[in-house]
Amino acid sequence: MRRILPQPLLSLVLLVSWLVINNSIHPGSIVMGAIVALVIPWITHRFWEIRAGVKSPVALLGYLGIVVIDIIRANFVVARQVLGPNRALRSQLFEMELDLEGALPVSILAATITLTPGTVSCRISPDQSRLWVHALHADDVAEEIAEIKQRYESRLMRIFGQTDQRTARSSSTPGTES
Amino acid sequence: MLFELIVSFLILFGAAFVLLGSLGLAKLPSFFMRLHGPTKASTLGVGSILLASAVYFSSRGSLSVHEILILVFLFLTAPISALLMARAGIHRELPGDNPRFGDNDRDGDKD
């Protein structure tokens, strides 16, 4: 099984993408999509240092739902801030410590911060332990950090099965530390 | 009729947010603040315009789901370009928000 499907999740994503591009679930498309889903991971397996390592797909779906709702909700907040006077805005660049580990989870967190309005992630420190975030308007930086941690980071840690800082550190694989 | 209402609402809604995004780009005072405009417009604004397209083409005959793929790729790539621009801004120490630099941060930033 591992030989045929080295990365089941990648294969599934490729198959679904192929069907969506073709806009059909015609048997022909499914066969072609299956070929794509089998051949591409096989050809590119050498490039894949990072494995997705999703421990809880259900939590991942829940996370996606929360992000979509936040995008819609917070867009209105930013709309009001953009339309209001510039003077009222207190934009700040701040740095936050991450408990989350691994290249992929940190990238997802950074992308989430950028997509949810009001904050843009600006920089990930080389050792991936800190993230720089720019907020368009932040009254209290500590509060902002606490919200990101509680709303997104804790959920991502659950998705990738990182329960505690120490256990996550000791069990991290070499591939995720680069 | 119902579909037309939904589609026109989604297009207007999306267009309003794309307009707000560009307005933010033009009006906000500093580089880092301007960064917020375009990254936001591409989420909710373009999102609902693409949804309108999906609803419109699905309502006249076959189901159309290409748009969802466009949306996914857009959501994957927008944060990356924003991150690159922000990093360039930090490196050039652009005025606006007094970036604080960590001690060994800049030396290790050769990647």
Q: Which residues contact A62 (CB under 8 A, 6 or more apart)?
A: A155
- Rounded to a whole number of angstroms, the distance between the first and last alpha carbons of chain B is 54
Asked whether residue A3 is domain-assigned, the answer is: no
The pLDDT, as a whole number, for residue B77 is 84
pLDDT tens for residues B41-56? 667 888 889 989 888 8
- Judgement on whether residues A41 and A72 belong to the same structural domain of the protein: no
Residue A176 has pLDDT above 60, yes or no: no
- Judgement on whether residues A68 and A36 belong to the same structural domain of the protein: no
- Judgement on whether residues A124 and A37 belong to the same structural domain of the protein: no
Asked whether residue B107 is domain-assigned, the answer is: no
**Which pTM was predicted?**
0.74
- Judgement on whether residues A43 and A61 belong to the same structural domain of the protein: no
- How far is CA A27 from its chain centroid? 33
- Judgement on whether residues A148 and A106 belong to the same structural domain of the protein: yes
- Judgement on whether residues A147 and A75 belong to the same structural domain of the protein: yes
Max Cα–Cα distance, chain A, nearest Å: 61
- Structural domain containing residue A33: 8-47
Summary mean pLDDT of chain A: 77
Residue contact B63–A127, C-beta within 8 A: no
Asked whether residue A2 is domain-assigned, the answer is: no
Who has greater pLDDT, B108 or A44?
A44
Asked whether residue A31 is domain-assigned, the answer is: yes
Residue A1 has pLDDT above 80, yes or no: no
Contact residues on chain B for A82, CB-CB shorter than 8 A: 20, 23-24, 27-28, 36-37
Residue A65 distance to chain B (closest CA, Å): 14
Asked whether residue B14 is domain-assigned, the answer is: yes
8 A C-beta contact, residue A168 and residue A160:
no
Residue A172 has pLDDT above 80, yes or no: no
- The backbone torsions φ and ψ at residue A96, rounded to the nearest 5 degrees and listed phi first, read -130, 145
- Judgement on whether residues A119 and A61 belong to the same structural domain of the protein: yes
8 A C-beta contact, residue A119 and residue A144:
yes
The pLDDT, as a whole number, for residue A169 is 44
Asked whether residue B36 is domain-assigned, the answer is: yes
- Judgement on whether residues A34 and A81 belong to the same structural domain of the protein: no
- The backbone torsions φ and ψ at residue A124, rounded to the nearest 5 degrees and listed phi first, read -110, 130
As a whole-number percent, the residues of chain A with pLDDT over 70 amount to: 84
- Judgement on whether residues A95 and A143 belong to the same structural domain of the protein: yes
For the question of an ipTM over 0.85, the answer is no
Q: For A70, name the nearest residue in chain B, comparing CA atoms only.
A: B44
Q: Report the alpha-carbon distance of residue A161 to residue A145 in Å, rounded.
A: 22
8 A C-beta contact, residue A147 and residue A153:
no
- Judgement on whether residues A131 and A152 belong to the same structural domain of the protein: yes
Q: For B26, name the nearest residue in chain A, comparing CA atoms only.
A: A82
Residue contact A134–B86, C-beta within 8 A: yes
Count of structural domains, chain B? 1
Judge whether A45 is closer than 8 Å to chain B, CB to CB.
Answer: no
Asked whether residue B53 is domain-assigned, the answer is: yes
- Structural domain containing residue B38: 2-91
pLDDT tens for residues A17-33? 888 888 777 888 889 88
- Judgement on whether residues A67 and A43 belong to the same structural domain of the protein: no
Residue A40 has pLDDT above 60, yes or no: yes
Asked whether residue B40 is domain-assigned, the answer is: yes
The pLDDT, as a whole number, for residue A168 is 43
pLDDT tens for residues B29-87? 778 788 887 777 667 888 889 989 888 888 877 777 888 888 888 888 888 888 888 88
Residue B9 has pLDDT above 90, yes or no: yes
Using pLDDT thresholds of 50, 70 and 90, give the confidence band for residue B95: low
Asked whether residue A52 is domain-assigned, the answer is: no
Count of structural domains, chain A? 2
Residue contact B23–A83, C-beta within 8 A: yes
* Range with the largest mean pLDDT of A27-31, A54-58, B98-102: A27-31
Mean pLDDT of A58-86: 83
Q: For A21, name the nearest residue in chain B, comparing CA atoms only.
A: B66
Residue contact A78–B75, C-beta within 8 A: no
- Judgement on whether residues A90 and A119 belong to the same structural domain of the protein: yes
Asked whether residue A26 is domain-assigned, the answer is: yes
- How far is CA A114 from its chain centroid? 10
Give the closest of B27, B37, B97 to A93, CB-based.
Answer: B97
pLDDT tens for residues A128-137? 788 888 888 7
Residue contact A115–B35, C-beta within 8 A: no
The pLDDT, as a whole number, for residue A63 is 86
Asked whether residue B48 is domain-assigned, the answer is: yes
Residue A157 has pLDDT above 80, yes or no: yes
Residue B82: both structure tokens together:
């924003």
Residue contact A122–B111, C-beta within 8 A: no
Residue A177 has pLDDT above 60, yes or no: no
